[in-house]
Chain A
């Protein structure tokens, strides 16, 4: 089945130690998104890629970076994680286009804990 896969499902890192979360997709969608979701809050968009074009949300901290080496893979890098970065990180994909009322498809997320 075509899907969005996030690895690892659970990640523990130390305060200030860089961490990378990964996302892969078999849907061949041209847009990939990263969301942060804290407990009982709405998923919040951090950034998205349209093909190789990177689009940062205005309020995304500089501590968060992303890479998309090819259509299938996208990475979220947190350069110096703080305690406030502990959250669920969700990856999603979709097809871009004004006439494309296609929903976003989500992975199962990575739960990040900071020690």
Chain B
């Protein structure tokens, strides 16, 4: 049973437009959510995070929104750039102090020039 779901395997966006990647979760005990970006042949790199007590966190072109009542979070990238083309993983922390994460299956973002 997947506790973190990314229902869109892929997304294609034009350069300069907004990219919106979505993630749903089932466990209300998750206390911290993260987005990772992964290029081919590289490991995931941390992008942005949000605590469960907040509803928005912004870092430059990247904003993460958290809707706890809907158990939904989204990553907005504005404006999208070709270098943003990668697989994006949503992750939720369930281990508290141990910092253990459950990952979604990822969304492949393609930003077209």
Contact = CB atoms under 8 A, between A and B. Distances in A.
Nearest to B106: A42
Interface residues of B, number: 26
B98 A96 contact: yes
Nearest to A107: B43
Interface string A84-115: 00000010101111101111111111000000
A27 interface: no
A112 to B, nearest CB: 15
Contacts of A100: 99
Interface string A50-66: 10000100000000000
A55 B100 CA distance: 11
Contacts of A106: 36, 43-45
Given A41-B105, A43-B89, A4 B43 contact: yes
Nearest to B50: A101
A102 B89 CA distance: 17
B42 interface: yes
Given A42-B106, A50-B98, 8 more contacts: A33-B100, A40-B106, A42-B2, A42-B4, A45-B100, A92-B43, A94-B99, A108-B43
